[in-house]
Structures are given as C-alpha cells and as structure tokens.
Amino acid sequence: MKNQEHILIIGAGLCGSLLALRMAQRGYKVTLMEKRPDLREEIVDSGRSINLAFSDRGMKGLRLAGLEDKVLPLCIPMNGRMIHSADGQLFMSAYSGRNHEYINSISREDLNIMLLNECDKMPDITMHFNQKCTGVELETAKATFEDYKTQKETHYQADILMGADGVGSALRKSMLDHRKFLFSYGQDFLTHGYKELSFPASADGGFLVEKNALHIWPRGKDMMIALPNLDGSFTVTLFLSWDEGKDSFESLNSDAAILDYFEREFPDALALMPNLIQEFKENPTSPLGTIKCSPWHAYGKVLLLGDAAHGIVPFYGQGMNSAFEDIDVLDKALNKHEGDWKAVFKAYQDERKEDTDAIADLAVDNFHEMKAHTARPIFQEKRKLEIAFENEFPQEYFSKYSLVTFREDLRYSEAMRRGRVQDKAILNLIYDGKFSESMTLQEKLNLVKQETRKMLHDDEVVEGLEEE
C-alpha cells in the first residue's frame, strides 16, 4: 500500500476546495479546515462579493479536476460591458470581437457548494468547519485550530500545510511574524471602498436590464457595476472614494444625501432599487487592497496559494480565476518534482510569482479604465477598432483584455507586456491622427502591428541587456 502523505489545507473557499480535490485526485490524504460554517447547512455571511466573473483561466483549473460540465449550468454569459452613460444612453462594448469569447457571472456560493460536494465524494478528503486557525509551526507543519462553537482546541500534525485562507490568511500572518527568514510583504489600499447593493428580479422572475452583460455606470471618479444572478436579480456594486471629493462614503451620511447622489449619478439604476436606502445603510463598506508577498513557502513544509499569496482588486475579474490557475501551475510543478516538496514549492513560485504580480497591477489599471476610460471618446474609438480587428482577423489580433482574459495559454506577465505596449501604440496612433478615413481595416491593423513591434523591440533591447 502507498504511503500517503498528509496535506492539511486551511480554507475551504473556492481555492481551498478545488485544491483539496486536486490533491486528493493525485493520491494525497487531505484534511480541509474551514473557519466558517458549512454553507450547505447554514446561511453564511461571508462579507465577500456575492457573484464573480468566471472565465478561461478559471476553467483551466476546473478542467484539471474534471469539473467543466459541473460549472457550466452555474454560469450566465456576459458578452460585454453595457455602459450606462451620464446622459442616460446605453452602449454595449463587447469583451471580444470573437463571438465565442465572453466571461460569466457566477454565484460564489453555488460554485463553492459544487466544489464541496465534489470533495465529499473523495474518501481521502476530511472536512471540518467552524475551525479557526490560531497558530502554525512553520518548520514542522503543525497547526492549531479552535472550534467556534465548542471552543475546543485541536492540534494537527501534517506533512504539508497549504494556506488557501484568503486575503486575511492566518498562515501568511505567521510567516510575516516569523523572524527567521526575510519576508517581503505589501498591503496597498485604493482610495476607494465598495458596497454591495441589488436590483431585484422582475415580478415574473425575469431580468430588469440586459441579462448577458456586465453593466457599468462609469462616472470618472466613481463607478457602479451590476452582474446578473440566476434568479433574475443583479448584484450591484458601488465603488466610491472613502472620504475625498464631492461624493464619498463619508459624505453620503443621510437618506437625503444617498438619494441625491443616486438621482444625480445613476437615475436609471435608482429606478430599479426599491431597497436602496436600507441596503446602503445595512451593508458593509469594504476596502479594496492588493496583497503581495514572498516567499510563498517555507522549509519545504508550508505553501500559500490564491488570495492568501496574492490578493488583488476585483477590476479584471481575475481573483478566482488566478487562484484556480494557481492550482494548474502547482499541478505542473508536482508533475516535475513530486517527492521533493522544496523543489515543488520553489518551481511553483519561480514560475508563478511574476504572473500574479502582473495580474495585481493589471487589476489596478483596470479600475481606472472602467471608471473613467469607458466613458471617453478616444478609448471608445480604440475599443471599436480593436473589436473590428478581432472580428475580421480573429487569429491575428488580441486586445489586452483578450490576452489577459481569454488567452489562458499565455502567462499574465506576457499578456501584460504585450497588452500594455499595444494599448500605447493604438492610443498614440489615434491621438496623432495616423488612421485616415481612406485606410482599410487591414492597413490600420498593419500600422498597429508595426508600431507595437517597434515599441516591443525598444523594450526588449533594454530588458534583454539588463537580464544578460
């Protein structure tokens, strides 16, 4: 009989439950510890966003675990951004010029339940809920948990400890507090916070606005978005400054101030929000932050994955997707180095860190793009041109958004490098009036390619010289 190594995973959220499944599929004995109650038995107010954008990189992770068919029924395709302009106009901006490329709205809870049910089917996975991690010994992979309900303390001795315990990771905190190695760590907050609100379903259970879109109300400094849920409702999220400028969470401190703000900025949405005032006052306002750290592992015994290793802001819809992709990258490192955990962890971080740093930075960029650029003519012109390129030359052109979201074969860091330069090239060509009316689309594409190539060359010369 095989000598099974025992992996203890902290966190049975999206990342932890898929990780448990995959590790059990690989033959490990897995214990999965979750701080919250079992959300299949109790309503859990997670304090996190209700629905998420699910796309190709996330699917890669689920496919690895054989779950592609299980997730599809949970998805609502969103083909593009439905932009609600300040003057009440609607403008649909597709995510891609290739019709088969879109993102999906998915319920965090539904997806997590599906994953936990799959874990239940694996005899080598044991799950415990209401277990708060209160201490970790990094050198020996020992961990202590306290039961929220009984206050009983339990000690576990595992072979390997994996922290998939989210942005507030207990494992990461013990690595930061540990004084025996240098731990690089950053927490970086935006000036804005967010609050979840909602549109109800229509009386007959239908959708009050376009179902297959991610709705955006870009207002330059602030922004509101809405994602569809399977029951016909929408989860609405307001992104607003904490305390700066004319309107802020601080200034919206009365029913009148809230109403006035929505009447001024989002009148069409206000008409769909019968419970606005109550929701605004009762729902929490939460921070938006980026977490980066290194190393993700220690002593060949512990490893951080998902948000615990790299918390990102939600504006590229890549938080869950990057966590699921982590599992795919870890799986490949295991294929190469199984049996030597130090080598596995090192290979995993060497491959992955650059990419999660990239998606973290891209997500912050996209905050500015969504709240401001989507409303402005030059960026709309760029977007129209890119959609036309993708539609007419589907094998030749990929926008930055497509590179990041739909090209799961490409690393985030490479998608960022190419995408940023391409954006710079197109914006300059438009700004400098280099596209003439008489040019064909093919000629315009050639111009973009030529300018992008020149800029990439200039960057590559410097990067190449620096790396030698």
Concatenated DSSP letters of 372-427: TGGGSHHHHHHHHHHHHHHHH-TTT---HHHHHHT-TTS-HHHHHHHHHHHHHHHH
Q: How far apart are CA 209 and CA 234, in angstroms?
A: 9
- The residues pairing with 217 across neighbouring beta strands, listed in sequence order, are 224
Q: Count of CB atoms within 10 A of residue 242's CB?
A: 16
The one among 1, 43, 182, 203 contacting a second copy by CB under 8 A:
182
Which one of the spans 61-69, 122-130, 245-253, 459-467 is the region binding a second copy (CB under 8 A)?
459-467
Q: What are phi and psi of 225, to 5 degrees?
A: -135, 160
Q: Shortest distance, CB of residue 251 to a second copy, whole angstroms?
A: 17
Q: Can residue 217 be called a binding residue for a second copy (CB under 8 A)?
A: no
Using CB under 8 A as the binding rule, whether residue 379 contacts a second copy is answered as: yes
Considering the complex, what minimum distance in angstroms separates the CB of residue 224 from a second copy? 21
User: Which position among 373, 417, 434, 449 is part of the footprint of a second copy (CB under 8 A)?
Assistant: 373
Asked if 262 and 238 touch (Cβ cutoff 8 Å), the reply is: no
Site string (280-299) toward a second copy, x via CB under 8 A: -------x-x--x-------
**Is 246 one of the binding residues for a second copy (CB under 8 A)?**
no
The yes or no reply on residue 90 touching a second copy (CB under 8 A) is no
* Size of interface with a second copy, in residues (CB under 8 A): 33
Q: Is the dihedral of CA 26, 135, 310, 286 positive or negative?
A: positive
Supply the minimum distance, in Å, between the C-beta of residue 427 and a second copy.
5
From residue 388, alpha-carbon distances to 99, 394, 439 in Å are: 12, 9, 14
Exposed, middle or buried: residue 97 (CB in 10 Å: 0-12, 13-18, 19+)? buried
Residue 303 and residue 163: Cα distance in Å, rounded? 6
Among 27, 66, 135, 186, binds a second copy (CB under 8 A): 186
Site membership for a second copy, residue 468 (CB under 8 A): yes
Omega cis (within 30) before 295: yes
Q: Does the protein bind a second copy through residue 424 (CB under 8 A)?
A: yes
**Contact of 140 with 13, CB cutoff 8 Å:** no
- Residue (183 or 393) nearer to a second copy, CB: 183
- Of positions 368, 384, 441, 450, contacts a second copy by CB under 8 A: 368
Of the candidate residues 46, 431, 442, 453, the single one contacting a second copy (CB under 8 A): 431
Name the one range near a second copy by CB under 8 A: 134-142, 300-308, 329-337, 368-376: 368-376
Shortest gap between Cβ of 311 and a second copy (angstroms)?
Answer: 13
Applying CB under 8 A, the residues found at the interface with a second copy are 182-189, 242, 287, 289, 292, 368, 372-373, 376, 378-379, 423-424, 427-428, 431-432, 455, 457-459, 461-462, 465-466, 468
